[in-house]
Amino acid sequence: MKGWQRWLVVALGVLLLGSIPPVLAALPATESDVTASELLASVRSSDEVAFTGYAETVGGLVLPVTQDFTDLVDLFGERSRLRAWWAGPDDWRVDELTATGETGVFHRSGASVLWNYEDSSATLAADPVVRLPRAADLLPSALGQRLLSEAGAEEVSRLPAERIAGRDALGLRLVPSDERTTIDRVDVWVDPSTGVPLKVEVYGADATVAAVRSRFLEFTPGAPDPEATWFVTPPGVDLSFTEVIDVAEAANQFAPAVTPDELAGLARRSGLVSIGSLGQYGRGVTLLTAAAVWDDLSRPLRDQLEGTPGAVIDENGVYVSAGPIGLLLTPGSRERSSWLIAGTVDAATLAAAAAEVRQIPVPDR
Amino acid sequence: MITTTQLTKRYGGILAVDGVSLDVQPGDIYGFLGANGSGKTTTVRMVLGLVLATSGSVDLLGRRMPRAGRAVLPRVGALVEGPAAYGHLSGRANLALLDSSGTGGTRRSRSTRIDAVLEQVGLAAVGRRPVKAYSLGMRQRLGLAAALLRQPELLVLDEPTNGLDPQGIREIRELIQGLHRRGTTVFLSSHLLAEVEQLCTRVGVLDRGRLVLQDSLASLQRPTGRTVVHTPDHERAHVLLDGRVEHREGERLIVRGADPAALNALLVADGVRVRELGPERRTLEQVVLAATEHPDHQVGVS
Amino acid sequence: MIRTELVKTLRRPRTWVTILLLNALPTLVAVLLALTDLGPRPGSGPAFLSAVLADGTLFPLAALAIILPLFLPVAVAVVAGDSVAGEAQQGTLRYLLVRPVSRTRLLVAKLVAVIAFVLLAVVVVAAVAYVVGSVLLGDQALAASVSGTVLTPAQVAVRTLLAIGYITLSMLGVAAIALLLSTMTDSPLAAALGALAFLIASSLLLTLDAAQTLQPYLPTRYWLAFVDLFRDPIFWRDIVRGIGLQAVYVVVFLGAAWANFTTKDITS
């Protein structure tokens, strides 16, 4: 064999090996004539479906917030790798994998054990009324079910099927009808046999890159090993208990003022304990959250927000948007608490909400 | 044993070897002469399959190279452009490693074979010392030992006496002659005329990539048809021989005619004293110089 | 031929010096940990390093995590870069080839010898780290997996062996690249540096979001997946991909080395 013939063999080999992934990715998915509303119904009834899976989520948002929200920043700004064992809504485990460790949530019967390998810590906490989003919420199944839970049949349409996690997933697009929302559309691909969302993409208005993307890379329906979701405290680790798992819950429990039943024309969401000071409003993907916060939390947050490029400062406070998420912090002082309002609504709605909550009397410290 | 036809090697625009057709017969000690840079080493490397020819072919022990290298190279011993060994290992260990990395020569006989060749090249006493402690001459002998390890039919030696002292050179020469007597064909490349003249039966001369001469030493050195006469009476001789003297240099006359006996009789009969008389033979040096000084050799750059 | 190359590797003083050096840093780290009892902050520092404070028998893993990103690949690049170029530089390559040794077989034997070296190095590092870890940091009957479940010593032992195997295989890509470069130059140093440049580029691209489409093809992409062996249940996905990727690297670069070396003029 001549030299160039050998190189030809090698080049062909490289070409062949290199073309395997794209060819596999381009395998066509089998389409189905299920209607959009049938598909929506199957997603809504899928929360009892048991499965095991591996998912990756990518957030495209840069949240201009402070240390108290670090987890949130990572969640929406970076890539997370999640393993899930899902026996049902009240018996599951989701592990977020990092290069050198793992944080896990073992959930059973209204309580969670939060495991952190690198801290060698295990914390038991009852499910709070409100909390910040965490990695498990971004699992395509959980995220898709949540985003579609209040969608109307007229808001959804079909998208072409795709191959996801080796399965033919049927596409469903949600275009919210509420004009106040900053969410342009939510694309969900659904496993036709179980109704579990396998891939979710959330787009803000005028965005070409998804604000949040989440997809299963491995998905196996069927009950996981019961031991997989059961936490046994390993030797050398103390299981601790906590009452407050994050700042959202803290705000709810210790906030200085109570939120109104309606804000900027959006109704308070039911299902929350009403004495809570953190109010959640809206429907579907048009959501608004408001809470009064003490100065020690709001002051650093205000500094951060005011220093963010694109921040708008007016009499209602400082407004910043990150993709479809808007944040508004009303003025306050050491003695006087301020209001933090955030949500997937446009600037005008946030401003209207700010104007309303500023009328609510807050106690001086 | 070695036949090349129109062997050519071109490096970019440079012709290193140009149409060389070697013919090494069984039983030869073939002297491959050429100045440094004349393409000797490239030719040797092509013969051994280390360098691939641009065109032309090589047959080694009757088989086409480099394809048949696996079959014929075990029957060839080679020393190419100086010896090489792993410095941290002993001479013995080096030989054992080299022997075990290819076919030909069984493992059982390895130890005895190594002892024998170390003895042969005169390294028996230092075989267990690490090679980095060897002198250049000792390394050269170790390289020879490696070439001899499987009693090859053909020895290809590139400058085998490099770095050896006169005593060592004589030992190597005797070694080669001994091997030759036992039937080994030797292909010896060298830039030393004397070495080739003393050892070889056939000579090929390479000049700037071209084989300018290839013949047996005997026929290169055959009588030229003239006779050399040394005589104190050179003027009388000159007159006597009238026109047959081609050249005179002091008392030395070069006379046309290939019959020294008749010439001697003629001179002595006329009372010319002859001190020395014999047929003229050219030295290898003269032959080589004559061949390489040919004016139309514009090789090298094309 | 493979046997001969293994003998050559084992009898080379450099092999043992390299292994000794590879052991130096983990041992130093163990001593420092034992003296100060200070683990790295979460998310920083090599994997398993905070866990060894509780259980010294996990120190082999921490030691492997310490040498994996830089020291081990440097050693592999040096050894593999030297494999053909070193023989060429000493002149022994021409004698091997006229011995004769088939050029293809020589390449394969060299790669096998490099991998044997890696395995030897990794096993020695793990063994030394086990002794150092148990003596300096103490041990525990049961260890926690990364996922928070309990591992018996037998499970830890099996998974450590798997990790050793995986890390060894992870070096195949570097070895194949260095071997290719080694056939292209007569300078072992140039070959080793070339392979290292490739690795540094790969590590850099891994941190770059813009290079996301390239990342699954980078040789260092799945190196840290040995941590996945200590999740519970074992997370095989990246490990399988890592092994597959290394196999592709071997096929491609050994193939290129073959194409280059078998038709190359040996002028050294």
Instruction: Please write the tens of the pLDDT for every residue from A31-74.
Output: 888 899 999 999 999 989 999 999 999 887 777 776 667 677 77
Nearest to C248 among A17, A102, A237 (CB): A17
Q: Does C42 touch chain A (CB under 8 A)?
A: yes
Task: Show residues of chain C in contact with A83, CB under 8 Å.
Answer: 231, 235
Domains of chain A, earliest start first:
36-240 (2.50.20.10), 255-357 (3.30.200)
Residue A161 is encoded by which pair of tokens?
A: 């099927």
Task: Return the H-helix or E-strand segment holding C103.
Answer: helix C103-137
Q: Which residues of A touch C228 (CB under 8 A)?
A: 97
Q: Which chains touch C (3 or more CB pairs under 8 A)?
A: A, B
Whether residue C54 and residue A217 make contact (CB cut-off 8 A), yes or no, is: no
Q: Copy the structure tokens of residue C169.
A: 């295989």
CB A212 within 8 A of CB A231: no
CA C137 to chain B, closest CA, distance in angstroms equals: 39
Residue B13 tokens read as 């625009």
Per CB-CB distance under 8 Å, the chain A contacts of C248 are 17
**Residue A364, pLDDT score:** 62
B 143-162 near C (Cβ less than 8 A):
146
- pLDDT score at B297: 45
Distance CA A220, CA B110 (A): 62
Q: What is the pLDDT of residue A3?
A: 78
Whether the CB-CB separation of B156 and B78 falls below 8 Å is answered with yes
Q: How far apart are CA A202 and CA A173, in angstroms?
A: 10
User: By the CB < 8 Å criterion, does A24 face chain C?
Assistant: no
- pLDDT recorded at residue A168: 92
Domains of chain B: residue spans and CATH: 2-220 (3.40.50.300), 224-281 (3.30.70.100)
Would you call A118 and C50 a contact, using CB atoms and an 8 Å cutoff? Answer: yes
| Closest residue to C100, CB basis, from B74, B87, B89 | B74
**pLDDT mean over A266-270:** 81
Q: Does A122 touch chain C (CB under 8 A)?
A: yes
| Chain B adjacent subunits, 3+ CB pairs under 8 A | C
Q: Which residues of B251-289 are buried (b: 16+ CB within 10 A; e: fewer)?
A: eebbbeeeebeebbebbeeeebebeebebbeeebeebbe
Q: Please, where are the H alpha helices in C55-100?
A: 59-67, 71-90, 92-98
Q: Give the angle C3-C8-C14 at the CA atoms, nearest 5°.
A: 145
For residue B288, the model assigns a pLDDT of 84
pLDDT value at residue A272: 54
Q: Which of C92, C99, C266 sits opposite B86 (nearest CB)?
A: C92
The Cα B280–Cα C170 span in angstroms is: 76
Nearest C-alpha neighbor of C52 from the set C36, C83, C68, C30: C30
Q: Which residue has the tokens 């006087």?
A: A336
Min Cα distance C90 → chain B (Å) is 6
Name which of A55, A18, A212 is nearest A139 in CA terms.
A55
Neighbouring residues of A312: CB distance < 8 A, sequence distance ≥ 6: A318, A319, A320, A347
- pLDDT bracket for residue A232 (50, 70, 90): confident
Tally Cβ neighbours within 10 Å of residue C63: 30
pLDDT of A255 reads 66
**What pLDDT is recorded for position B299?**
37
The answer to whether the peptide bond before residue C100 is cis (omega within 30 degrees of 0) is yes
Low-confidence ranges of chain C (pLDDT < 50): none
Of A71, A69, A114, the C-alpha closest to A231 is: A114
Of chain A, the percentage scoring pLDDT greater than 90 comes to: 35
CA–CA separation, C179 and C8 (whole Å): 17
Chain C residues whose beta carbon lies within 8 Å of the beta carbon of residue A120 = 50-51, 54, 144
pLDDT given at position A271: 59
- Please give the Cα distance from C144 to B103 (Å, whole number): 54
Distance (Å) from the C-alpha of residue C141 to the closest C-alpha of chain B? 46
* The predicted structure's pLDDT at residue B301: 32
Strands B2-11 and B23-24: antiparallel
- Exposure of B66 by Cβ count < 10 A (0-12 exposed, 13-18 middle, 19+ buried)? buried
pLDDT on residue C19: 95
User: What is the structure's pLDDT at B44?
Assistant: 93
Nearest-by-CA chain A residue for C259: A6
Q: Which of A205-209, A314-318, B211-215 has the lowest mean pLDDT?
A: A205-209
C residues 145-204 near A, CB within 8 Å?
145-150
Q: How far apart are alpha carbons C247 and C266 in whole angstroms? A: 29
Q: Which residue among B78, B88, B146 sits closest to C12, beta carbon to beta carbon?
A: B88
CB atoms within 10 A of CB B19: 16
CA distances (Å), origin B109, targets B57, B102, B163, C6:
35, 14, 31, 22
Q: Structure tokens of B19? A: 């149409």
Distance (Å, whole) CA C140 – CA A234? 11
Nearest CB partner across the interface for B52, out of C1, C96, C265: C265
Q: Are B77 and B191 in contact (CB under 8 A)?
A: no
Consecutive H or E run containing A251: helix A247-254
pLDDT tens, N- to C-terminus, chain B (302 residues): 899 999 999 988 889 999 999 999 999 999 999 888 889 999 999 999 999 999 999 999 999 988 888 899 999 999 988 899 999 999 999 999 999 988 777 788 899 999 999 998 889 888 889 999 998 889 999 999 999 998 899 999 988 888 788 888 888 889 899 999 999 999 999 888 888 888 899 999 999 899 998 998 888 888 888 888 888 888 888 888 877 888 888 888 888 887 888 888 888 888 888 888 888 888 888 888 888 875 554 433 32
Of all residues in chain A, the percent with pLDDT exceeding 70 is: 93
Give the ipTM: 0.85
The per-residue DSSP string of A115-180 comes to EETTTTEEEEEEPPSS----GGGGSHHHHHHHHHTT--GGGEEEEEEEEETTEEEEEEEE----TT
At what angle are helices C13-36 and C103-137 packed, to 10 degrees?
Answer: 30
